[in-house]
Structure 1
Amino acid sequence: MTIAELGTFLRSRRERLSPTDVGLPPGGRRRTPGLRREELALISGVSTSWYTFLEQGRDVRPSAQVLEALARALALTGDERDHLMRLGGLAPTTPDPGPETIDAGLVDLVEALDPRPAYVTAASFDVLAVNDAARELFGGMTATTGSPANVASWVFTDPRAREVLVDREEVARGVLARLRAATARHPDDARVAAVVETLRRESAEAAAWWSRQDVREDRSGTKRVRHPRLGEITLAHTVLHPAERPDLTLVVYGRCATAGRA
């Protein structure tokens, strides 16, 4: 992770705000979208020249207080604020766990959860364990070309994902946002970097959306899917991280919330 990435992220968040969003008068015509640098510097209490150096990726090291002020001024979400801190070197990153392996007990747990769909992924979205219910529900997710199977690759490059995921674009954007968060949490993880590079090369959507700098952490929620037997359904899912391996993610789908005809 470099200081240049911090500057790129700050610029992307600045450009999405208008003066009226932060209580400033709209002003005259603007050549570029969003707040001007001097406007952000004003509302965050940072000098314009120093902020400019930061956004340009010069070798300046912001304090936690400065980044907190910028986070407030930019109205960052909690996930974005944490990402900003990591880019600034002020939040702990997760050490590279080495080869992506999984404890046999966790594999047994995933199998025992059947008939509830469940799977375990690494920070790179590589699938490390999956049960039969998940294989049926996400047709082809664990049978993607290449090894290992990868959720992000399936969502972006496998046509079957468009058939299974009712809100496929929303899911894809969320996957990419979580991958960006993973690059900051695991800056030395070669597999995470390789997955991002492959997606940007093989998917026009991923290449275009990556520049948006969206960030999101894992969280529980619901997903609409087209089930091969039940038709279109909405499933609640719970996201868990094993205490000994917080870099791994266990996703468990619960009971059908709604069901309808496909």
Structure 2
Amino acid sequence: MTIVAPASDVRRHELAEFLRNRRERITPEQVGLPRGRRRRTPGLRREEVAQLSAVGVTWYTWLEQARDIQVSPQVLDALARALLLDPSERSHLFALAGALDPAPNTACPSVTPALRAMLDQLGPIPACVQNSRYDILAYNTTYGRLLCDLDALPPEDLNCMWLAFTNPEWRGSVVDVAETNRVMAAKFRASMAEHLAEPAWKALLARLESASPEFREVWARHEVVGQSGKLKYLRNAHVGLLYVEHSNLWLGPSAGPRLVTYVPVDEESRQRLEKLQELAQSRQALASAGV
């Protein structure tokens, strides 16, 4: 009689073997640790990975022993960084752990080279690709300077909900920010209904509730609004007031990624967006030249 191990057991053992293999292939010098004279372990020691990931040594040891323990997306993210995993390896790590990667900069299959080229061609119209969680997956130069300096932000902050409730520059660019944020939170709640158990959504919600009293107050209203476009006034720090029409173009199912554009409503706004694009391109060129 053949006994087939449960899929969860197989996955835990694959995860343990994968972590062990990746740990053993990294030298201490690669992560800024001294080698020492008595090192017998190939690659890193378990306690060194635990130290680099800010997790307990015993807990990490259990993980490599394929014990049945829960692993949060945040810990997996820390392990991926400590083990210097490339994008494919990182994706494999999260798949083995049965978790969704919360990193906003995780490659999205909807953002193809052709779509990135189209974003650039849309200039001076600000445009970006967002998912239903409001992560900003890609954007053109004008959008990168529309509400704040997106290029200056860490990848984990490239999320419109996070920026709307915590970033002073973004908030200062939105006319009637309180009402706009109320509607955004209602749209976010409507989108989240299909993702209530997903770690990435729960992690973003917890982060917002921890950082923003305004978000906690708005979220407690339990308002729900569907996705739709609207006319908006934006106050750009570089070119002044802009009157634009916010539109969504869905790139797949309505719960999936979308192309977001801000089309100028009047000629003055168009001219100001052209000026903003020139400023953004000039700054980008200087940055590329190392100036």
TM range (shorter): 0.5 to 0.7
Q: Answer yes or no: is the 8 Å Cα contact 2:231–2:246 preserved in 1.
A: yes
CA displacement at 1:199 relative to structure 2: 0.6
Report 1:198-237 matches (<5 A): 198-237=207-246
Amino acid across the alignment from 1:217: G
Q: Answer yes or no: is the 8 Å Cα contact 1:141–1:151 preserved in 2.
A: no
Aligned to 2:258: 249
Aligned to 2:78: none
2:248 to 222, 236, 239: 239
- 1:121-143 CA distance string (max 9 Å, x none): 11211110100011121123454
Task: Extract unaligned runs of 5+ from structure 2.
Answer: 1-98, 270-291
Q: Answer yes or no: is the 8 Å Cα contact 1:238–1:251 preserved in 2.
A: yes
Partner-residue secondary structure (3-state), 1:107: helix
Report 1:1-262 matches (<5 A): 101=108, 102-104=110-112, 105-141=114-150, 143-145=152-154, 147=156, 149-243=158-252, 246-257=255-266
Residues matched between the structures, number: 166
Q: What's the TM-score once normalised by structure 1's chain length?
A: 0.57
CA shift in 2, pair 1:259/1:106, >3 Å: same
Amino acid across the alignment from 1:228: A
Distance 1:161 1:168 in 2: 9
CA displacement at 1:100 relative to structure 2: 6.0
Amino acid across the alignment from 1:197: A
CA displacement at 1:243 relative to structure 2: 2.7
Structure showing greater Rg? 2
Q: Answer yes or no: is the 8 Å Cα contact 1:164–1:227 preserved in 2.
A: yes
Q: Answer yes or no: is the 8 Å Cα contact 1:144–1:158 preserved in 2.
A: no
Q: Answer yes or no: is the 8 Å Cα contact 2:132–2:255 preserved in 1.
A: no
Amino acid across the alignment from 2:121: A
CA RMSD of the aligned region, Å?
Answer: 2.7
CA displacement at 1:144 relative to structure 2: 3.4
CA displacement at 1:106 relative to structure 2: 2.4
Distance 2:107 2:181 in 1: 23
More helix by share: 2
CA shift in 2, pair 1:186/1:109, >3 Å: farther
CA displacement at 1:244 relative to structure 2: 6.1
Partner-residue secondary structure (3-state), 2:246: strand
Amino acid across the alignment from 1:103: V
Amino acid across the alignment from 2:120: E
Aligned to 1:23: none
Q: Answer yes or no: is the 8 Å Cα contact 1:118–1:251 preserved in 2.
A: yes
Partner-residue secondary structure (3-state), 1:186: coil
CA displacement at 1:108 relative to structure 2: 2.4
Aligned to 1:46: none
Q: Answer yes or no: is the 8 Å Cα contact 1:156–1:206 preserved in 2.
A: yes
CA displacement at 1:211 relative to structure 2: 0.9
CA shift in 2, pair 1:191/1:215, >3 Å: same
- Deviating beyond 4 angstroms after TM superposition, the runs of 4 or more aligned structure 1 residues are 96-100
- 1:137-174 CA distance string (max 9 Å, x none): 11234543452511111110011123211111111112
Distance 2:181 2:152 in 1: 18
Q: Answer yes or no: is the 8 Å Cα contact 1:230–1:259 preserved in 2.
A: no
Partner-residue secondary structure (3-state), 2:156: coil
Distance 1:146 1:97 in 2: 17
